[in-house]
Amino acid sequence: MAVDEILRVEALSKNFGEAIVLDNVSFGVARNSVVGIVGENGAGKTTLFNLISGIVPPDEGYIEYRGKEIRPSNYREANLLGISRVFQEQALIPNIAVYENILLSHEDHFVRLGQVLDRRKMIAVAQRIVDAMALDIDVRLQTSHYDFSIRQSIEIARACLVPREVLGIEAPVVLLDEPTSALEKSEEEALFRLIRRIRQHGSVLFVSHRLSEVLSVCDLIHVLKDGRLVATVDPAITNERTLHGHMVGRERDADYYHEHEQGEVNTHPVMFAVKNFSLANAYEAVTLDIHQGEVFGIGGLLDSGKSHLGKGMSGLVPPDTGTVQVDGGKPTRPDFRSLISQGLAYVPAERLVEGIILPFSVAVNISVASGQDLFSTWWGYWRVAVEERVARHYIQEIGIKASGPQVSCGTLSGGNQQKVVLAKWLCRSPRIIILDNPTRGIDAGAKEEVYKLIRQLTASGASIVLITDELLELIGLSHRIAVMRGGRVTGIVDAPLDKKPTERELVGLMLGTQ
């Protein structure tokens, strides 16, 4: 181990059955540095973090921390050594107070007289941690009081500052696995400021699919591909295009969003109409028309109500007032089951909560939305052979990295889990698809595959409602963009192929500055 290294992984390998997930990976992390780890979904990034944080043991190789070999048998052991982590999917308990989540598993540091828990001290320490993150949070409130973005910030604060504030560790290593996937720009900037402060007394391993972030915040970047370390680059002398080339073995297409495939839809009939939608404390008086073959974008800040509107449009969480109309039919109150039968599909933002069932197989997850018709007979027998055949088709068709239909979704990377969610609805040949942040937590190569799929769907006549926090994605894919602020649509912006709006224009509408 080099003198200035705080952490070293040497010849790490990990197999799951016949699948080689990590193959002879070695690198060091210098003290007081920020090191990026990038790669496509399935490249081995999460498995690498699982090995370092003690969640799974390596098959071969070893890990050194502070000059000594460590073999943590679980995450708590790694955490007590000084290795903490923000997971790709949230790991907070929603029905306990924020301070309890922040200090979970460290309660023994707050015991008086051997048996009395000093909750006042816990609250004070937890409040100091979120204040250092510049978060406007009352740690006494229940965690579910805060939205997804704030909960993500709480996790980041916990991982970054508990080692110092509670354990007294002056040289921690923090593993950040996609920490900004649901953060607003101001919150991202607060995180990056915190990362720069952390490096004064610790080190950070940073995984993100947003290559611009990795380039701006990291001192060194390691690239994984198919479980192997294929490149180590200096961010000061590289760019996104080159980095992407290392990741996928090819340079990013110049037309990343396949804009040249964007057809003219103004003369097409209205496929999906939303009239006078309102839901208390979420959105108000929303009326929209989506044409056949159109990508209709909806943008806004995280508190704009856009995700709530998506759930309302699908009938999953119906509005207080308003109707939907499918393909010129009769206006009706939105009902999820009824809309599915009329050709609607809904892909949620939080795939692990609403999209898939992790312990279940790829085949079961694909068939789960269609058990009442596609995969069962009218007398109730399950069509196992059909389920198997359909799953194999979509594994091949959209590139799900799974060895077969019976593989558990819990063993797949985040991006491949998202492809399973998409396949669940694609097998129904939907006419209307509501996508809520469909590329959240997906690498650049997989994003391009999703964009290509969106173009193919619209070319076949499907209408897509694209709700996303990614401005460039919103601009590049959409025919028109509805901008929301405070639950209201503040403007609908045309986004034709030859005259796309700028990020500045959309941000101005989102903030109400124009």
- pLDDT, tens digit, 9 for 90 and up, residues 404-463: 999 999 888 778 898 999 999 999 999 999 999 998 877 777 788 899 999 999 999 999
**Which one has a higher pLDDT value, 513 or 301?**
301
Residues 6+ apart with CB under 8 A from 191: 133, 153, 156, 179, 180, 183
Which pLDDT score is estimated for 502? 87
Among 62, 72, 29, residue whose Cα is nearest residue 172: 29
pLDDT tens, position by position, 274-318: 999 999 999 999 999 999 999 999 999 877 999 999 999 999 999
Position 254 pLDDT exceeds 60? no
Which pLDDT score is estimated for 170? 78
Rounded Cα gap, residues 189 and 319, in angstroms: 34
Percent of the chain with pLDDT over 70: 96
Do 253-343+430-514 and 5-248 have the same topology in CATH? yes
Helical H segments across 112-199, by residue range? 119-132, 148-165, 185-198
Position 34 pLDDT exceeds 90? yes
Which pLDDT score is estimated for 393? 96
Helical H segments across 222-348, by residue range? 240-248, 306-314, 336-341
Which pLDDT score is estimated for 87? 81
* Mean pLDDT rounded to a whole number for the chain: 89
In this structure, of 94-103, 194-203, 249-258, the range with the lowest mean pLDDT score is 249-258
Which pLDDT score is estimated for 253? 53
Position 331 pLDDT exceeds 90? yes
**Which one has a higher pLDDT value, 403 or 234?**
234
Q: Which residues face 5 on adjacent strands?
A: 30
What is the homologous superfamily of the domain 253-343+430-514 according to CATH? P-loop containing nucleotide triphosphate hydrolases (3.40.50.300)
Which pLDDT score is estimated for 6? 92
The residue count for the chain: 514
Which pLDDT score is estimated for 183? 61
Position 103 pLDDT exceeds 90? yes
Which pLDDT score is estimated for 514? 64
Structural domain spans, the chain = 5-248, 253-343+430-514, 355-429
Position 39 pLDDT exceeds 80? yes
Q: What is the mean pLDDT of residues 9-19?
A: 86
Position 346 pLDDT exceeds 90? yes
Which pLDDT score is estimated for 301? 82
**What are the helix and strand counts (H, E) for the chain?**
16, 21
The conformational region for residue 66 under phi > 0 = left, psi -120 to 50 = alpha, else beta, is left
Q: What is the mean pLDDT of residues 203-227?
A: 89
Q: What is the mean pLDDT of residues 456-475?
A: 93
Rounded Cα gap, residues 161 and 202, in angstroms: 10
User: Which CATH number does 5-248 carry?
Assistant: 3.40.50.300
- Classify 407 as helix, strand or coil: coil
Model confidence band, residue 156 (pLDDT cutoffs 50, 70, 90): confident
pTM of the entire predicted model = 0.65
Model confidence band, residue 508 (pLDDT cutoffs 50, 70, 90): confident
pLDDT tens, position by position, 57-89: 999 999 999 889 999 999 989 989 999 998 877
pLDDT tens, position by position, 234-245: 999 998 888 878
The dihedral sign for the CA sequence 440, 445, 446, 447: positive
In this structure, of 9-18, 46-55, 59-68, the range with the lowest mean pLDDT score is 9-18
Which pLDDT score is estimated for 200? 76
Model confidence band, residue 132 (pLDDT cutoffs 50, 70, 90): confident
AA identity, residue 74:
N
Model confidence band, residue 181 (pLDDT cutoffs 50, 70, 90): low
Rounded Cα gap, residues 510 and 485, in angstroms: 6
